[in-house]
Structure 1
């Protein structure tokens, strides 16, 4: 009986509480709505595009009533207010404004308005055919003969060529950005998976090398992560006969890599340096038969640990960081090489996740002699406290280093640093607070300006999507940052921009990557930027 008495009492209390909350008149407690302090009309900005310093008129409601607490923001940057009425605000496009949304701020409340395009001197070329371009990521672009370009990546078509499935991850582009129809035979072409990098070879035959993570080119098997191409895009191949007399098509290169090549460098003597995420050099042996007498292929392998040098014919160069007694590569790096740069004197800079090279502490960056041994004259001291993701070399030999680190050489440097040729930090380059995310790439413009990109939404207090242009001292460039940024495709995992190539003799840059929008315009992974 006590149990039921308690339940009745509890229901009575709950009922009393409910009565207190509901009006006896039946009024809806949610009917009354708080009106916003500011309202900006849907298309309430005129003109809809302007340069920094030009005046625009914003229309809406509540401007004058909130004049003492009002700020008008262009992509997060406060604009000078010139005149107000209750329904209009005349403002000047502020310095460091970029393409994006306009908003009004009253105290800590934000009222978002229409999209506004900030125009400037550093602009996407809208006449360049960016809207179609590649149907997958582009990882590299190199200049080749006759003003053309070779692009590689993870696409299966370019420029809606009509050759889908025949331009698998390798294509040649004319100077105007259109696909070169003479490249890629009308049959299955290219690789079965990702291509990371490319190189043009000297000589009258104008052949190319491509490297990445594939094991097949043009349907030919045992093309392991590196392929030699003829000028028309076909695989440079030989015909051999198996033990049973069957004719087989094989790559002209004698061997390759089991794993992923990230960087490739062709030396003046034709030898090929490869770095990346691999442990074995492999060479197919076609002269074998199985127990039943059938043809059999075996991959002979040699351990080489993240870097290797090949002879021009693809055979292993055992004079480069190699232990002849053990018939294997020396210890090399104890982690990944994300980026390598071949220097004019034949030495190689490597950077990545490693902390040792051949057993010696090097703190994620090192310089190697021409034989692959460590160069002790280069020392970054404590180096970065976390991994280096990329680096680029300036004309004066200094290096811009980017990644996800907080300090470099004991100095507080957020994700980007510049070091001298000997590895010592250059304190004259400092970006301040830097990015709120990862930096994956850095590129130096012909005038010395530095473009850094990655995955971030803010850089030193400015709202920016994944890209920013810096001066040669690391400050945010005062006139090259009206572009709102880049938008990554859904499969991007390494930042929106992978390569920036200055066009020789032109005030323009070709930009490739994994983005699908550039400055909020449709741009499938390939754009051209012009500047004064």
Structure 2
């Protein structure tokens, strides 16, 4: 009892200190491919469905995409909802499809508002071959002059088309036309002046007569309100008498086999009789009084109706309200007499959107199309498949993301990976037959079970042995082609383990598995034979797969065993659908001794009234049981309860009224004894709505700190080793976010308190809530769920370490972040309340140096950054420098330039420590609203580093480069002011970074806490920050201005850094590289123009007349590429161009600098290039090139390929070293010949071309007629 009291007291402490952050949120970093932007069917309205003889569906409508792929207006899908890859339209429609009809020969006639298909004029009517190609024999180029709304066919392939058109080619066709099989108009079909308004629907009766409906009031000048029947020749059939007809439009109708007609629309009366939107007519047009539609539909339009072979009637539309006084929602199924079918239940159905079209398959499924994006809570883009009872087929229209069918079991692996099992056959649209291994990020492990077929049927359960091997069970009979009747063992790489020999194994489905500490395996399910021996649905196996004959259960269970759980003492609990075990009454639960006999000390009495599906143990050995039951031992316990270790009901369990409907299918106990529950339930738990997942406190009361909901069943749960929750099932939406059948959730699973120099429940770790009741002087890198510090207590996070929290930081104490320490949080919705003291140490500065700062805490006074700085030396920058009041609060995400303390020397530099005190910023932060063309000083608003690449991606209106002030050059008096002799900005963009001075550091894309930087607005916008930009790593926040020394070059990038420096200290660096999404023109993401802020020297590449310090070029890389380089100098001295760094891509490639003035080429990979320069601007002297072969000339090099082309001033020199040039042809980038010259010399000067910074192509004709081609930029 003392143990129980201690646990209870600790639990109370946890609850009283528990954070208010909402747990159960989806982890967006897991399987980011399943991000809601792709998949989930059609992206706009489905208006037409036609079923082919093979069951495939032709679908048309307003959509442009299907499952993320571009398929404008028409697509063919398989009965399971996947794209039919054999249907190749080889082009697109240019507008909507309204009607589809399939001819007896399988060809497809399509009508709509389109005028072209695959570039061919088809004018609203076209016929396709069975493979989707255009049938050129069906010619409708002259076509119809307005929309085709419906089509019906004669057996000979002729078609009646109706719509809003008035002409077919030059012939009058007033909203109806008969089209012959070749696509021409049947002139013998005469309707006179036809309809005076829209015809929306046509059906040809078996006798060839034609029924039309729509909004028309006259047909061939006769009053025909919304409906008429024609003879085969187009004349009105007077035998069909509608009298006054309908008082509003008819949208649809269908024929019964007896000739009766069910009509729907917006009408309220027919021939003066109130019918409210639906009526059944006799073949002569009279009302069928035997149709019991009563008062009809209460409101809104009925758009479609379809009658099945049994005379049952499916009706869809926009209606809600009621039908005959009974609430309905957009889809109803009626008996042949018009009464509602009582066994038809679609739940939420299409929610608030319309049903517009229906089709029925030969296997009694209904396809429902319309404008809805969800059906019964499932993401079901505009098309759903239901059975005759209204049950949604959740496997239909698989979106190609996540798993395509149910996940039934998840096993966590030590490296944050997981094994997933179920009835699926694909993951993220790749084959994955009932088994998959996912990496930590939720992507598929391509090294698992490579080239193998997996299981041939469902895997329902799995357990992992100590050696890493996994035993799988279910309904499969082969695995990777190996016979294994419903049970197998696989190796860690997915291969079949033939050493696990179970003989013929189970003769029916295996549902449950459990491993004992001695590695023996309990196997249970619905089988009655195992390895040809009669058993009672449960056996125990030895680790090698052989049957353990010492385990004797007698007759065993009389029905399915769904779940097995092994207690700490080795006793075995079994739950399921059985009533007796070994002939003893054991309603749905039994406990066995280690030898298989019934444990009579576990008194179940009358047991459960219905099935048990889940069993789990709390730390005090109490038993949590879930299922479909409503009572235990006659006491009301709806679907969840807790039993004492002796089998008695635990009356202290606070589940209240339990679950109102559905089943509990999964239970998971957290380390802190809170209970995660999942299943099919969708009603209430103890009076509060709960949708398929919830968490209770250890007491059974609902845990309000956890909130999540699913739109379909949860079958499996497990905790990863870093204490995140993996869930699997049939759902495709988690709390409104798309996740298909597997997801990972954030939550806290335990807690530990620092008090009296010890931790109450072990050291901090992932998933734990941290509570500090005493000071803690040396916290190192820690991952935790949340953190709270008691009043007056101080916790110090050491330099270069990080505290990463899933949720919030609270308490009245203080968290001290030493220099470069980080507080990292991933959840944007968290609000912190705890205080931090964040220290930030600058590089050495002098009194007159300015440092660019940004506050990582809320409401920090500007003057407190550097209290000794003069009050007029605090500035912000928004296109111009603005003096700021030292008493004002620093604004989030705004940068400030603050001069050094007044007590600092003007000549000797020293470091400065700023301490930011306040509540740390977190989540989405909007900074300054910027105007196009202006520069702004913005800052990292967080107490952790941010990733500059992500920042730039999410602020696309900013120029692609950010700049950091380094204040490294000396300052000198200039009149009454002190100025820097050279501006010192290091720069970074998506290509990489450049340093500001020799020996400096190249920005690597990490902006540390407290740092601000310059950006340029390319368009109007508001600077935006969120936690996706933040960096958790402990070593990424450790230097001001940048985080670390230059990264080692990586093989994925293709970059070189060039330095220009003088023997007197002038310096400039440029970065050149190649990127997959760059072009050879200007790219704001990659290219940074030179600002020419250096007082002594400027160095740049040249492109399109502009100078760049960072320039990217497009891939693929070609060795023939040349890059013009330029420089400007205000001093006369010796300069050196050096290859500073290169990525691995250039390890085996040459990098040459061509000096066109001196006609030399230097291999920069072997030596720097030194030259003497006068003052001035020199844009035509140097070219960077990548020729592979060179010829040494003195200390420099010329190309060994015997031909060079280079620029000198405004002339181009073409020089050959071993042949005379016969002819020169020069083309521009568009392929136009712009220069031609005959010659017979080895050196030619081209002097009459105007420099345009463009690529020129030289074709040089040699002696003997051979032609050599080279490109230059001129």
What range is the shorter-chain TM-score in? Answer: 0.5 to 0.7
What is the aligned partner in structure 2 of residue 219 from structure 1?
Answer: 119
1:234 deviation in Å? 2.0
List aligned pairs for 1:385-424, cutoff 5 A. 385-424=247-286
Is residue 200 from structure 1 mapped to residue 108 from structure 2 by the alignment? no
Q: In structure 1, which of residues 423, 431, 441 is the aligned counterpart of residue 304 of structure 2?
A: 441
Residue 40 of structure 1 is matched in structure 2 by none
1:456 corresponds to 2:319: yes
- Provide the TM-score with structure 1 as the length reference: 0.62
Shift of 1:257: 0.8
In structure 2, the partner of 1:228 is: 127
The aligned residue for residue 497 of structure 1 is 355
How far 1:531 moved relative to its partner? Answer: 2.8
The superposition leaves residues 304-356 of structure 1 with CA deviations (integer Å, 9 ceiling, x where unpaired) of 1110112222222111116xxxxxxx211122112111111111001112222
Tell whether 2:369 aligns with 1:512: yes
- Tell me the distance in 1 between the aligned counterparts of 2:153 and 2:328: 37
Measured in 2, the distance between the counterparts of 1:516 and 1:475 equals 29
Distance 1:168 1:482, change over 3 A: closer
Aligned partner of 1:237 among 136, 139, 144:
136
- Contact in 1 for aligned 2:303/2:316 (Cα 8 Å): yes
State how far apart, in whole Å, the 1-side matches of 2:53 and 2:92 are.
20
CA shift at 1:477, angstroms?
2.3
CA distance in 2, matches of 1:452, 1:145: 23
2:268 and 2:246 map into 1 onto residues whose CA distance is 7
**Larger Rg computed on CA atoms:** 2
Separation of aligned partners in 2, 1:528 and 1:428: 31
Q: Distance in 2 between matches of 1:145 and 1:200?
A: 9
The C-alpha deviation readout for 1:235-282, integer Å capped at 9, x for no partner, is 2238xxxxxxxxxxxx74454211000111221222221111111112
Q: Is the contact made by 1:388 and 1:403 (CA closer than 8 Å) also made in structure 2?
A: yes
Find 2:156's aligned residue among 266, 269, 286. Answer: 269
Find the partner of 1:143 among 34, 39, 51.
51
Matches within 5 A, 1:4-83: none
Question: Does the 8 A contact of 2:57 with 2:78 survive in 1?
Answer: yes
CA displacement at 1:469 relative to structure 2: 2.2
1:257 aligns to what SS in structure 2? coil
Deviations 1:428-483 (A, max 9, x none): 21323322222122222333222222222211333333222222222232221353
Maintained 8 Å contact 1:131/1:522: no
Shift of 1:231: 2.3
* 1:131 CA displacement: 6.8
Match of residue 176 from structure 1: 80
The answer as to whether partners of 1:254 and 1:314 remain within 8 angstroms in 2 is: no
| 1:417 and 1:430 in contact (8 A); partners too | no
| Contact 1:488/1:514 (8 A) holds in 2 | no
Contact 1:509/1:528 (8 A) holds in 2:
yes
Note if contact 2:111-2:125 (Cα within 8 Å) is conserved in structure 1.
yes
**Matched residue SS, 1:423:** coil
* 2:396 is the counterpart of 1:526: no
Runs of 4+ displaced beyond 6 Å: none
Alignment of 1:348-367 (within 5 A): 348-367=210-229
Matched position secondary structure for 1:374: coil
Q: Give 1:207 deviation, angstroms.
A: 2.5
Check whether the contact 2:162–2:199 (CA below 8 A) recurs between aligned residues. yes
Q: TM-score, normalised by structure 2?
A: 0.27
Q: CA deviation at 1:407?
A: 1.6
User: Are the counterparts in 2 of residues 488 and 517 from structure 1 also a CA contact under 8 Å?
Assistant: no
Q: Equivalent residue for 2:655?
A: none
Partner SS, residue 54 of structure 2: helix
* Alignment check: 8 A CA contact 1:389 1:439 kept: yes
Matched, 1:344 2:252: no
Q: Distance in 1 between matches of 2:136 and 2:66?
A: 25
Q: How does 1:118-197 map to 2 (within 5 A)?
A: 132-160=40-68, 162=69, 164=70, 167-185=71-89, 189-197=91-99
Equivalent pair of 1:152/1:197 in contact (CA under 8 Å): yes
C-alpha contact 1:263 1:340 (8 A) present in aligned 2: yes
2:828 corresponds in structure 1 to none
Q: What are the superposed Cα offsets for residues 109-148 of structure 1, whole Å, 9 maximum, x if unpaired?
A: xxxxxxxxxxxxxxxxxxxxx9722122221111224332
- In the alignment of these two chains, the number of paired residues is 350
Q: How far apart in 2 are the matches of 1:363 and 1:179?
A: 42
* Alpha-carbon distance between aligned partners in 1 of 2:160 and 2:186, rounded to the nearest angstrom: 10
Distance 1:467 1:226 in 2: 30
TM-superposed CA distance for 1:210, in Å, is: 0.8
Q: Who is 1:477 aligned against?
A: 341
Q: Deviations over 1:143-202 (max 9, x none)?
A: 224332211112222233x4x1xx2211111122211112125x5x22111111112223
The residue aligned with 2:180 is 311
Contact 2:122-2:139 at 8 Å conserved across structures:
no
CA distance in 2, matches of 1:406, 1:485: 25
- In 2: Cα distance, 1:207 partner to 1:387 partner: 32
Distance 1:224 1:400, change over 3 A: same
Q: Secondary structure at the match of 1:278?
A: coil
Higher relative contact order, structure no. (Cα contacts within 8 Å, ≥ 6 residues apart): 1
Shift of 1:303: 2.0
State the secondary structure of the residue aligned to 2:196. Answer: coil
Which aligned pairs between 1:268-347 and structure 2 lie closer than 5 A?
A: 268-282=155-169, 301-321=170-190, 330-347=192-209
Counterparts of 2:226 and 2:53, CA distance in 1: 36
1:378 aligns with 2:282: no
Query: Structure 2: how far apart are the matches of 1:438 and 1:277?
Result: 20
2:290 alignment counterpart: 428
1:503 to partner: Cα distance: 1.2
